Structure 1
Amino acid sequence: MNELKAEINRLKQIKPGIDCSYKTVNGVRLPVEIYVPEDNKNKQTLVIAIHGGSWYAVKEDAVTWDGSWMNFQAQYYVSKGFTAAVFSYRSIDFDETTTVFDLIDDCKDAVAFIRRQTETTRLILMGDSAGGHLSLMLGIDDSINADMVVAANPVLDCTEPSWKHIAKTEQDFIKASPAFHIQKIKPALLLLHGDSDTVVNCKITERYCDSMKQQKNDCEYIPLHGAEHAFLLQGYRSKDEDVMRYMNMIDEFIEKRT
């Protein structure tokens, strides 16, 4: 246990090589942190971790940013020799006109910015909850050209009442829902979901994976017994040993497809 704590503390001490903004919207800077590995083993693979939080994110300009909840995943993967990055996007309540499509555009701009700053040829998108939703929305976009998407307890059906704050019309709720975009895509998909999640129904994730498989996609679903929502976040609900166990599951998925 002491060794695990020491390892996690070591990872959390890793600092980004680039800490700046990738975009400014109405005078508000949107932050990004990029981690460049010393080991060149996996340097050409870029892992971008996208945080969740019901799409609530950057609303006011800030001088510093702490990388949010998915920063640990970026530190974890840079320690393994990958290039890694985290960023944030406009909050869904940024102004009265903001919808989830503005956030998706921010994510696209962040990915483009990070690619310009790095010498990478492969892209792995990773997200939790709303971040899982955004990762999948990027993954189904051919222009992003992602190789893998890892989504933990992702929001897949935005027509559900809980998500009525992210768009304006029923048509837009459907358009913003990965569950309504069942099609052949390039990236391999890994979906992880806890069966004790009371925020997002794991059955939706299971059905989504089955539907994507029917379209001949490489999609793997891992149900996690007893795991609650946001299980992947270090220092939140899960024990450290469980977070590392989940990360090892993701590692296995990546290694099989590398």
Structure 2
Amino acid sequence: MKTARAVRQLKMTVLVPRTNDLKPAIVYFPGGRFISADYEKFTEMRVALAQAGFVVAAAEYRVVPDKFPSLVEDGKAAVRYLREHAGEYGIDPARIGVIGDSAGGYVAQMLGMTNGERAFDKGAFLDKSSDVEAAVTLYGISDLRSIGEGFPDAVQKVHQSPAVTEALLLNGPAFGTFVGASIGSDPGKALAASPLGHVEGSKPPFLIMHGTADTLVSPMQSAHLYEALKAGQNKVDYILVEGAGHGDLHWYQAPVIDRVVNWFRQSLGEPIRGAAKATNRDANL
């Protein structure tokens, strides 16, 4: 009999508007270079969404040294958790969206692009769907094979290393007789672990945003995702933020935040007034 020896509880915070309305929900996944998941950051965006009437969860997920697909499994588990507890939070389980930045954008993209797939559904509440009804990605990663596309040769060399974080996410670290492997050592494996490896079938509405001055994740990542979604006749909006870098102050300002809030309103709809059943848990929030 196998015994689980490395199980740990992942954490989530939930902002719940003080109303009895039946509310759409949004799960935020933080960026962190695949090595951290500081789920309580991006307060400005999360609070603005909650003030607009959304239940907003911020979810931790496993990072390196855990390997793919652990972070995607965790993202889907967070969605299933909200559907399981929809009554407690006043959530409309038919209207759940996701948002993420950088590596968190990768997670949000993977959830949207794998709607209908069940290979990544692991853990609890498997009777609930992990599909999402809307996805927002901010300077996210859509193809693990080409994060540095168009960047200088020195940057390209970093992304060819078996020690770069996307290679560790996919292949793990060198140990024993394993010398490590670059992301390019198995392009098919890397594509299957990327949002762009899951382009078949219909997708939920997407909002893709990227900064023109991003020097860490190539803006081409977002361009390729947009092109793939358009080619599949999916609903997608693509916005390049002029002069914005990777996670810099541009992303915490009203023009970006308001655009995201309004897009979610259009994609998920407004709360249904007075339709939710009040609970003691809601009353205490």
Query: Shorter-chain TM-score: what band?
Result: 0.7 to 0.9
RMSD of aligned alpha carbons: 2.2
Q: Is the 8 A contact 2:23 2:53 kept in 1?
A: no
Q: For 2:249, which of 235, 238, 246 is the aligned residue?
A: 238
Aligned partners of 1:122 and 1:147 also within 8 Å: yes
After superposition, residues 191-230 of structure 1 pair within 5 angstroms as 191-230=208-247
Determine the C-alpha separation between the residues in 2 that align with 1:133 and 1:252: 22
CA distance in 2, matches of 1:205, 1:27: 34
Pick one of 168, 179, 185 that aligns with 1:165: 168
Q: Cα offset for 1:210? A: 1.7
Q: Tell me which residue corresponds to 1:122.
A: 95
Tell me the distance in 2 between the aligned counterparts of 1:77 and 1:40. Answer: 17
1:76 to 2:56 alignment? no
Moved more, 130-139 or 206-215: 206-215
Deviations 1:69-125 (A, max 9, x none): 2344332211211111001011212xxxx2120111111112211222223230110
Correspondence for 2:114 among 128, 138, 141:
141
| Partner of residue 39, structure 1 | 19
**1 or 2, which has the higher strand percentage?**
1
Residue type at the aligned position of 2:80: A
Query: What SS class does the counterpart of residue 72 from structure 2 fall into?
Result: helix
**Shift in alpha-carbon separation, 1:142–1:116, aligned structure 2, 3 A:** same
- Residue by residue over 1:175-218, the C-alpha shift from the partner in whole angstroms, topping out at 9 and shown as x without a partner, is 11112322332310000000000011112311320221011000
The CA deviation at 1:250 is: 1.2
Answer yes or no: is the 8 Å Cα contact 1:74–1:84 preserved in 2. yes
How far does the alpha carbon of each residue in 1:41-70 deviate from its partner, in whole angstroms, 9 at most, with x for none? 5x4200111101012236xxxxxxx74323
Cα gap change, 1:194/1:40 in structure 2, threshold over 3 Å: closer, same or farther? farther
Partner of 2:36: 57
1:194·1:227 contact (CA, 8 Å) conserved in 2?
yes
Closer/same/farther in 2, CA of residues 32 and 153 from structure 1, 3 Å limit: same
- d(CA) in 2 for partners of 1:203 and 1:159? 12
**Alpha-carbon distance in structure 1 between the residues aligned to 2:207 and 2:82:** 23
Q: CA deviation at 1:140?
A: 1.6
Aligned residues between the structures: 216
Task: Choose 242-251 or 129-138, whichever is displaced more.
Answer: 242-251
Q: Which stretches in structure 2 are left out of the alignment for 5+ residues?
A: 117-129, 147-158, 172-184, 270-285
Residue 75 (structure 2) aligns with = 107
Give the AA of the match of 1:73: M
Within 1, Cα distance between the matches of 2:190 and 2:33? 15
CA offset at residue 158 of structure 1? Answer: 0.5
Amino acid at match of 2:142: L
TM-score when normalising by structure 1? 0.76
Q: Which has the higher contact order (CA 8 A, sep 6+)?
A: 2
Which structure has the larger Rg?
A: 2
What TM-score do you get using the length of structure 2 for normalisation? Answer: 0.69
Q: Is the 8 A contact 1:124 1:146 kept in 2?
A: yes
Residue 27 of structure 2 corresponds to: 48
- Describe the SS at the equivalent of 1:164: helix
Unaligned runs of 5+ in 1: 1-23, 59-65, 231-236
Measure, in 1, the Cα distance between the counterparts of 2:198 and 2:102. Answer: 18
